[in-house]
Amino acid sequence: MLDDYLNAIKRFKEPVVYTPESPILHPWKLMTGMLRDVGKSWPLARRLIIRDLTAQYRQTIFGYLWAIIPPLATALIFIFLNSAKILAVPQTEVPYPVYVMTGTIFWQLFVDALNGPLKEINLNRSMLTKVDFPKEALIISSIGQVLFSFFIKLILLTVILVIFRVSVQWTIILLIFPMAGLLGMGILIGVLLVPLGVLYKDIQQGLALIIQPLMLLTPVIYPPPSEGILAKIMNLNPITPLILAVRDCIFTGFPRPLIPFVTVCGITFLLLFLGWIIYRLALPILIERMEA
């Protein structure tokens, strides 16, 4: 009886109408559609995460170790440069290797999130041009993969903290906020780049070029200087409060100053919603320009 009833409900659907109109003119329908599709996305997103993770690591010898190799390599270079006194990093509140590792690991979270959406769309071009499925699944899938590789990195970080016998604060549980902030901001920028990035390959090429210098303008491997041009730039860089908050939460307590951090997080999540709408509206138009 209940099954029949549920089937009847499932069967009874409103007709779907496709017109040249922009869906933005019907905000209510747009919102309900977005929420409905997120719900429908989960099973597919789960499969895509499993597919991409297994495929990615099955053809390697080091397997999941590849998640920690890039940040570890970057960190080792700077640890070497610093110990050889080529780089003069001022005294940090924790041993320098610990400082660099926290920086690079959380920076990598941001970078992975930033590259995620475009990477996932490019990987699934043939699927996009041939099957209708909730497009949100691609974003959820790329978030899932980013988080997976991030949690492996967290294990590395834990090991390093133990090796250097650094004591952590109870505020480490608040780490979830800067973490969400970095992930959110990465995904936000990644999603906003989708419309241009799908059409023009320049975007991906350019991204690879920009990310390295951007790291040097963020307190990833050295603390922000107190004055000078770099200090000003780091101050304006919206990623700065997030990275600083990461270290505060682990080593010293509440993020200080709190206001820039909260503001950046708040704005990021508001804009994420906007980015979602743009993504949703742009994709059907992008799909017709993709090679079949």
Partner 1 sequence: MDQTVLIDVNKVSKRYCRDLKRSLWYGVRDVAKELMGQSQEEHNLRKDEFWGLKEVSFRLGKGESLGLIGRNGAGKTTLLKLIHGLIKPTGGRITVNGSIRALIALGTGFNPILTGRENIRISGAILGYTEKEMNEKFDEIVEFSEIGDFIDSPVQSYSSGMLARLAFSVAVHTNPDIMLVDEVLAVGDLNFAIKCYRKIVDYLKQGGSMILVSHNMYTIRTNCTRAIWLDQGTIKTAGETNEVCDTYELFAARTDKVISEQRYLDNTIEITEVNYPQSILDNDSFWFEFTIKTRRNIKIPIVAVSIFDITGHNLITNISSLDNFTPFLKDGQAKIRVRYDKLYLGAGAYHINLVLADGHINNQLAAFINCFKFEVKSNFSNFGAGFFKLQPKWESQ
14 vs 227, beta carbon nearer partner 1:
14
Least distance CB 190 / partner 1 (angstroms): 16
- Of 124 and 268, CB closest to partner 1: 124
Query: Any idea of the CA torsion for 189, 260, 243, 216, to the nearest 10 degrees?
Result: 70
Cβ atoms of 261 and 241 within 8 Å: the answer is yes
Give the ranges where 173-257 is alpha helix by DSSP (H).
Answer: 176-192, 194-199, 202-216, 229-236, 240-247
Contact status, residue 108 vs residue 71, Cβ threshold 8 Å: yes
Contacting positions for partner 1 (CB under 8 A): 13, 15-22, 24-25, 43-44, 46-48, 50-52, 54-55, 58-59, 124, 126-133, 195-196, 199-200, 278, 281-282, 284-289, 292
Determine which helix (DSSP H) or strand (DSSP E) holds 114, and give its type and residue range. Answer: helix 96-123
Closest CA to 164 of 243, 109, 100: 100
Cα–Cα dist 142/116, whole Å: 5
Which residue number, 133 or 177, has a Cβ lying nearer to partner 1? 133
Per-residue buried b or exposed e for 143-161, using 16+ beta carbons within 10 Å of the residue's own CB: bbbbbebbeebeebbeebb
Q: Pick the closer one to partner 1 by CB: 204 or 252.
A: 204
CB of 20 to partner 1, least distance (A): 4
SS3 8: helix
Query: Which DSSP state fits 6?
Result: H
Instruction: Return the residue matching tokens 């974003």.
Output: 139
> Could you give the C-alpha distances from 20 to 25, 94, 141, 152, 291, in angstroms and in order?
12, 59, 29, 46, 22
C-beta of 54 vs 263, nearer to partner 1: 54
Q: Which residues fall within 8 angstroms of residue 62, CB to CB, at 6 or more apart?
A: 69
Alpha carbon of residue 10 to chain centroid: 35
For partner 1, give the closer residue by CB, 126 or 263. 126
Query: In the complex with partner 1, which residue's Cβ is closer, 40 or 211?
Result: 40
